[in-house]
Amino acid sequence: MLWYVFIKRSCLVLFILLSAVLQVGCSVAPWERGNLAKTQMLIVPNPNRTALRRHVFDSKESSQGGMGTAGGGCGCN
């Protein structure tokens, strides 16, 4: 089963990354987070533009999902 393998692999990758990043992550103190606070370091710095592009991609490509959001309804094909 394709999806089973996919989920199994994803979980493995996730677990390894998770344990790795939790180790390093602890070292960043609150007063060191100035750069992270910048708009350009947001996951989605410009949500409207991202939504517009996703609208185009969802209409013109066969893949959906990702980019930090659950999909809404759209019949715009």
Enumerate binding residues for another protein (CB under 8 A).
Answer: 2-3, 6-7, 10, 13-14, 17-18, 21-22, 24-28, 30-53, 55-57, 60-77
Q: How far apart are CB 20 and another protein at their closest, in Å?
A: 9
- In three-state secondary structure terms, 3 is helix
The string of DSSP letters for 23-54 reads HHHTT--GGG-TGGGSGGGSSSS-HHHHHHHH
Rounded to the nearest whole angstrom, what is the least distance from the CB of residue 53 to another protein in the complex? 7
Residue 48 Cβ, how far from another protein at the closest point, in Å? 5
Give the C-alpha separation, 42 to 20, whole Å: 22
